[in-house]
Structure 1
Amino acid sequence: MITVKAPGKLYIAGEYAVVEPGYPAIVVSLDQFVTVSINRAHDHGTINSKQYEQMPVIWQRKGNQLIIDNRDNPFEYILSSIKYTEIYALEKNRQLELFDVNVNSQLDATDGRKYGLGSSAAVTVATVTALARFYELDLKKEEIFKLAAISHFMVQNNGSFGDIAASVYGGWIAYQSPDRQWLTQQLNTTSLTNVIQQTWPKLKIESLTCPPELSLLIGWSGSPASTPVLVDKIAAKRTQQKASYQTFLQASRNCLQKMIQGFKQKQVALILQQININRHLLHQLAKFSGVSIETQRLTKLCEIAQHFGAAAKSSGAGGGDCGIALIENKSQKQQQLLQEWQKNNIQPLNFNVYESTN
């Protein structure tokens, strides 16, 4: 049996802008995992997961057509990961085999509701990594990232792959997404091996070290949100609101560049200042797009955190899921902050940053 685990993630800053090639974000890996095990099989292969058995089917109406949206269905990512890892294996002259896949996830609540920790990315990374070992492909981290990104892209084509990077590399990461148009063109015109070996335009993955004086606190709003759907809504508005959207992108880049500098130079005050600025930028984006990013409960989460001296904002696409707060370790108010969250139906998540060891 081959067993692999991949961590979940949270966005710290740079959401929405990071979907555009070359615009930075900061993302962090957490010590909550998707575990994938692969066993050689004989008559037929299976894919099993107790967490994903009751996944709802989401659909929409387009005219009179019923359209199934599978972008929140983890099985779609598992199947895509198998497909593209096996294409790569065939290009490396491996013989394909039957196998059983078993998936176990810590990235959702016990009742199945999503925390928003990037479960689709983690299950993609874990499946690709496990299959690469199964077929003895000897992939480096960059190759796992690219193969997982392609597998994910074929299910959800509007993401940034930042959650894939967090799952592969671990720790705190400064991230810029690649040019997806270029990637589409390459996938249509050349071999998968060649695509993975090339330098991807605009892609940047850089490890950061969080200043030891800072603690990351995570609060769950209790309300799951669909990242692909929210990103679709923003994408629909960006052509109608070109000037506002470009202003947002430039301001986000400026904010993230300063925040990354803060991490590199251990400037705690600068990091906290830019977290608050990034929250304000997301408010502006929500206002001109009409998309609800910071829900009432996420607003309460941020207000409580700020009352106790932390910098706080929604994490990821918003619309529910988690919010984050960064607070100085020396502050005696951390416990009071967490207690106040609980009083207001915000669940503190006792997760830690996961640093990859290999």
Structure 2
Amino acid sequence: MSGPAPGRPAVVRRAPGKLFVAGEYAVVDSGNPAILAAVDRYVTVTVSGSASPGVLVSSDLAAHPVRRRWDGGRLAADGGRERGGPVHVLSAVETVAALLAEHGLPRPGLELSVASALHADGRKFGLGSSGAVTVASVAAVAAYCGLELTRADVYRLALLATARIDPEGSGGDLAASTWGGWLLYRAPDRGFVLDLARERGTGAALRAPWPGFAVRRLPPPAGLSLQAGWTGRPASTARLVSGLHRRPWRGTCRHRRFTAAVTDVVHAMAGALEAGDGPGVLHQVRRARQELARLDDEAGLGVFTDKLRALCEAAEAAGGAAKPSGAGGGDCGIALLDAAAPRHISYVHRRWTEAGVLPLPVRVAMEGIQR
């Protein structure tokens, strides 16, 4: 570990977005499983050195670059710490810099350029752009600074960076962006992880076991094509999840029933994927949608919008199965359709378009973070 050398060439890393297939809401509690798929729309981060101390971040989503200076271990605006801006990028840089500092290396002066294919006209598709930019930023900054990280290291640093902003986030998007493909994922105890990093350091947090965390690859669904549709309405996962937890619901019998039912769905879906049982996967997608609908009825979150209902109905009419992807309230829905029946896929896309849902041309990205 040597830190960035003067005149070092720029480093580029890109990370894919994600779609939640099953396990939403339940996965935010440590140890509960979810299934995600990475998609071939990417956030690309380019890191180069800077003659000035601090960090300059430019993005195709922002009108102006953002400059921050080092103030201890944090990045602050002139005149004090400033809220807003590219918070996930800045937290990623701070987290990598903390690891450098533990090895006696200086906090670097850097320029980061961010390009996202997970947005349209400044509006997010709901494909995990925050997770993808965090993973790509961690990987690019670390590589530029001479750190050799495993994929697990990248995920853990990205989780630390994200949990400092939103400790309720599951990190499933980070896992999909890191490893790619179809994944069975369990979230770590974020409070434990943050305490560990504060008390023992970032390096120790990378090496220690993380309670609740697990990730493994799953095969793609046999004979099925994953389709995604965008409602045109961005939604805030953090707001929806926080809204649920503010209600007198967590810890109740209804909460336990929902968690148990969703856990059973995820395990059954993972088994169907591993057995090559396409009809079994469709059945579990329908069960997952029913559990989200029941949660929506009980908690009044607004998970299902008119466009998400239309998205699901169109897929069912074509013999497929569909549901919201993620927290709902807008963003994306997914459908699994017969891969050998392109006319069914065309029919669903036509129905979606008529309902104001934009079919997104995405495929599963089998590789995660990459150069």
1:94–1:135 Cα contact (<8 Å) kept:
no
- Which shifted more, 331-340 or 345-354? 331-340
Match of 1:76 in 2: 87
* Matching residue within 248, 262, 266 for 2:258: 248
Over 3 Å counting, the alpha-carbon distance change for 1:298 and 1:9 in structure 2 is: same
1:241–1:288 Cα contact (<8 Å) kept:
no
1:159–1:228 Cα contact (<8 Å) kept:
yes
Matched residues in 2 for 1:349 and 1:121: separation? 19
Matched residues in 1 for 2:297 and 2:247: separation? 11
Letter in 2 for 1:285: L
Match of 1:260 in 2: 270
Name structure 1 gaps, 5 residues minimum: 56-68
Matched residues in 2 for 1:240 and 1:134: separation? 43
Matched residues in 2 for 1:259 and 1:83: separation? 38
Deviation at 1:54, TM superposition (A): 8.2
Matched residues in 1 for 2:59 and 2:24: separation? 30
Deviation at 1:240, TM superposition (A): 6.2
Matched residues in 2 for 1:49 and 1:305: separation? 36
* Matching residue within 12, 15, 19 for 1:3: 12
Q: Say if 2:356 is the partner of 1:345.
A: yes
Q: Say if 2:302 is the partner of 1:292.
A: yes
Deviation at 1:238, TM superposition (A): 5.1
1:234–1:289 Cα contact (<8 Å) kept:
yes
- Which shifted more, 185-194 or 314-323? 185-194
* Matching residue within 145, 149, 152 for 1:135: 145
Matched residues in 2 for 1:187 and 1:278: separation? 35
Matched residues in 1 for 2:195 and 2:167: separation? 13
* Matching residue within 90, 99, 116 for 2:110: 99
Letter in 1 for 2:160: I
Match of 1:60 in 2: none
Deviation at 1:326, TM superposition (A): 0.3
| TM-score, reference length from structure 1 | 0.92
Q: Say if 2:27 is the partner of 1:18.
A: yes
User: How large is the Cα RMSD of the aligned pairs?
Assistant: 1.8
Letter in 1 for 2:97: E
Over 3 Å counting, the alpha-carbon distance change for 1:88 and 1:213 in structure 2 is: same
Name structure 2 gaps, 5 residues minimum: 1-9, 66-81
Deviation at 1:162, TM superposition (A): 0.3
The residue correspondences of 1:144-155 to structure 2 (distance < 5 A) are 144-155=154-165
Q: Say if 2:340 is the partner of 1:323.
A: no
Match of 2:129 in 1: 119
Over 3 Å counting, the alpha-carbon distance change for 1:171 and 1:25 in structure 2 is: same
Deviation at 1:128, TM superposition (A): 0.4
2:222–2:273 Cα contact (<8 Å) kept:
no
Match of 1:306 in 2: 316
The residue correspondences of 1:176-195 to structure 2 (distance < 5 A) are 176-195=186-205
Matched residues in 1 for 2:108 and 2:90: separation? 15
1:74–1:120 Cα contact (<8 Å) kept:
no
Match of 2:49 in 1: 40
Over 3 Å counting, the alpha-carbon distance change for 1:224 and 1:311 in structure 2 is: same
| TM-score, reference length from structure 2 | 0.89
Identity value in percent: 33
Deviation at 1:147, TM superposition (A): 0.3
Matched residues in 1 for 2:349 and 2:64: separation? 32
Letter in 2 for 1:195: A
Matched residues in 1 for 2:301 and 2:33: separation? 22
Q: Say if 2:350 is the partner of 1:335.
A: no
- Which shifted more, 208-217 or 114-123? 208-217
- Aligned residue pairs, count: 342
Q: Secondary structure at the match of 1:333?
A: helix
Q: Say if 2:286 is the partner of 1:276.
A: yes
Matched residues in 1 for 2:235 and 2:64: separation? 17
1:85–1:131 Cα contact (<8 Å) kept:
yes
1:216–1:327 Cα contact (<8 Å) kept:
yes
Match of 1:58 in 2: none
Deviations 1:173-200 (A, max 9, x none): 1101011232233133211111110111
